[in-house]
Amino acid sequence: ILNVEQSPQSLHVQEGDSTNFTCSFPSSNFYALHWYRWETAKSPEALFVMTLNGDEKKKGRISATLNTKEGYSYLYIKGSQPEDSATYLCAFASGGSYIPTFGRGTSLIVHP
Amino acid sequence: EPEVTQTPSHQVTQMGQEVILRCVPISNHLYFYWYRQILGQKVEFLVSFYNNEISEKSEIFDDQFSVERPDGSNFTLKIRSTKLEDSAMYFCASSLRDRNTEAFFGQGTRLTVV
């Protein structure tokens, strides 16, 4: 069983704050790391798929970095807005399986 | 924008009954998945499907479960004899390729077994 951990479990920030959270995964046999954003009552929406150590990806105010050697990825949100409130899921895919394994998610609430 | 659609959005069934959850993946996608999330727990992989056969399945996906792509567009998950612990949100997803491409999720079917 692959261990994918996300921290913190939940996070409350004020509008305008920048924030970040972590996804930890096994450092061996890495293939890909996915980030998804999941708003209540909607389906998970893909943010990034990262495959290379040192990768940095950006979409608007959201960016992510990847360190496959130490087994972690950070997701950053710059200048959080209330509409950023969601659960952010990461999913790790190893070389031994086609299928990404999900973490439990970080629940972000941005207060106006 | 193309999307994955799931029906029904909510299904209530009695323990021991069979249920079929339906999904229409994005039309040019080749890989199809079912995941579930029991309330308060993490999203769990059930099964993946490629080229008209199961490519991978988890320990959760036992003989009570089956998947089909009967007509080239629908992708169904059947639970033969539901148990209380099958109550969960079931998500279908599809992707163009496999583990290094993004998966597109449907909005889920909430299954309640009573």
Q: Are A45 and B110 in contact (CB under 8 A)?
A: no
Q: Where is average pLDDT lowest: A44-53, B72-81, B95-104?
A: B95-104
Quick one: pLDDT band at residue B67, thresholds 50, 70, 90? very high
- What's the pLDDT at B2? 78
Contact assignment for B45 to A103 by CB distance below 8 Å: no
Q: B-contacting residues of A 27-86, CB under 8 Å? A: 31-32, 34, 36, 41-46, 49, 51
Taking contacts as CB-CB distances below 8 angstroms, the residues of chain A near B42 are 102-105
Q: What is the b/e burial string over B73-92, where b = at least 16 CB atoms within 10 angstroms of the residue's CB? A: eebbbebeebeeebbbbbbb
Amino acid identity of residue A89, one-letter, is L
- What's the pLDDT at A2? 65
How far, rounded to the nearest angstrom, does the alpha carbon of residue B111 sit from its chain's CA centroid?
11
* pLDDT mean by block of 10 residues, chain A; 112 residues: 85 96 92 90 88 94 97 97 94 79 90 95
pLDDT tens per residue across span A58-86:
999 999 999 999 999 999 999 999 999 99
What are the strands of the beta sheet with A62-67, ordered from one edge? A5-7, A19-24, A72-77, A62-67, A56-59
How far, rounded to the nearest angstrom, does the alpha carbon of residue A42 sit from its chain's CA centroid?
17
Nearest residue in chain B measured CA to CA from A4: B42
Contact assignment for A103 to B108 by CB distance below 8 Å: no
pLDDT tens per residue across span B49-62:
988 899 888 889 99
Q: Give the torsion through C-alpha atoms of B99, B100, B106, B112, to 10 deg.
A: 30
